[in-house]
């Protein structure tokens, strides 16, 4: 854990360069280039807004905002994992030739997706204004759930990136896990929709607390209770400590399996 902080700090320039490389490559040779980082979530928002305000109507006012306030952090989480799971194997040729701390690869994947998450808040804000939804001061609280989410995501990416080195099935399993996880997390619905006797089961989901922080701040204009904030950080740190420990335990073996 201490080593994670140290090596992240020591190699911050390398991590940033790798993250920037990933972003550059993602938009390379597209006419609009980096604008896609903004356009992509913006267009997705337009589609969802149109669908949910005309075709499928729930009894939730401004459903698009209700949905997107948690869909953005979820997208960050699932995309980070999707990129990072392959970050060690994908850089295998490099790892076999250059002595470099392996941790920088999953960290860089998370960093590059964090940039995307931050950028996607701009179209989110525009949507809030366009739909005449109140623009709450609780937006200022967002860095807190973001931090907890990044910690949790880092822990998960370390675990999956390491596991994928030894068994390439992990990348495929991850896809299934993520899609199941999506539906079992109150993203398209609220936790209140779940029958009361089932709610305890949903509360075991470590993502629910941090995700809820986003929705409360953007959609409801409320702050979560302190227990919920604490739970989100406990989950984040636990994931990070376990993920990091597993990664460090096996990182010297990676070179033989990539």
Contact residues for other proteins, defined by CB under 8 A: 11, 13-14, 17-18, 21, 24-25, 28, 93-100, 167-169, 252, 255-256
- In the complex with other proteins, the residue whose CB is nearer, 188 or 246, is 246
* Beta carbon of residue 194, minimum distance to other proteins (angstroms, whole number): 33
- In the complex with other proteins, the residue whose CB is nearer, 168 or 203, is 168
- In the complex with other proteins, the residue whose CB is nearer, 25 or 126, is 25
* Beta carbon of residue 235, minimum distance to other proteins (angstroms, whole number): 27
* Beta carbon of residue 115, minimum distance to other proteins (angstroms, whole number): 17
CB atoms within 10 A of CB 103: 24
Give phi and psi for 84, each to the nearest 5: -75, -25
* Beta carbon of residue 9, minimum distance to other proteins (angstroms, whole number): 13
Contact 52, 148 (CB under 8 A): no
Residues 6 or more apart in contact with residue 235 via CB below 8 angstroms: 148, 152, 206, 207, 209, 210
- In the complex with other proteins, the residue whose CB is nearer, 27 or 181, is 27
- In the complex with other proteins, the residue whose CB is nearer, 171 or 242, is 171
- Please state, in angstroms and rounded to a whole number, the distance separating the CA atoms of residues 148 and 234: 9
Contact 211, 152 (CB under 8 A): no
* Beta carbon of residue 97, minimum distance to other proteins (angstroms, whole number): 4
- In the complex with other proteins, the residue whose CB is nearer, 104 or 229, is 104
SS3 state of residue 155: helix
H-only helix segments in the chain: 2-10, 12-27, 36-50, 63-84, 87-90, 92-95, 104-130, 143-166, 169-183, 199-202, 207-215, 226-250, 254-257
* Beta carbon of residue 30, minimum distance to other proteins (angstroms, whole number): 13
């Amino acid at each position: 854990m201490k080593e994670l902080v140290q090596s992240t700090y020591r190699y911050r320039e390398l991590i940033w360069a790798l993250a920037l490389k990933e972003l550059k490559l993602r938009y390379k040779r597209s006419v609009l280039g980096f604008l896609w980082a903004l356009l992509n979530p913006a267009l997705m928002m337009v589609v969802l807004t149109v669908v949910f305000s005309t075709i499928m109507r729930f009894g939730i006012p401004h459903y698009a905002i209700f949905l997107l306030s948690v869909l953005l952090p979820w997208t960050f989480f699932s995309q980070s994992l999707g990129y990072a799971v392959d970050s060690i194997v994908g850089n295998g040729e490099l790892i076999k030739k250059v002595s470099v701390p392996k941790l920088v690869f999953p960290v860089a994947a998370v960093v590059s997706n964090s940039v995307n998450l931050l950028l996607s808040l701009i179209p989110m804000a525009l949507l809030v204004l366009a739909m005449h939804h109140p623009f709450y001061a609780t937006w200022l609280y967002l860095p807190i759930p973001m931090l907890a989410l990044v910690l949790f995501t880092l822990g998960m990416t370390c675990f999956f990136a390491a596991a994928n080195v030894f068994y390439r099935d992990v990348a495929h399993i991850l896809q299934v896990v993520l899609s199941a996880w999506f539906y079992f997390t109150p993203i398209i619905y609220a936790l209140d929709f779940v029958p009361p006797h089932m709610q305890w089961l949903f509360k075991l989901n470590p993502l629910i607390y941090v995700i809820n922080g986003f929705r409360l701040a953007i959609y409801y204009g409320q702050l979560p209770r302190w227990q919920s904030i604490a739970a989100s950080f406990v989950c984040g740190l636990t994931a990070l400590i376990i993920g990091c420990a597993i990664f460090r335990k096996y990182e010297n073996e990676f070179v033989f399996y990539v």
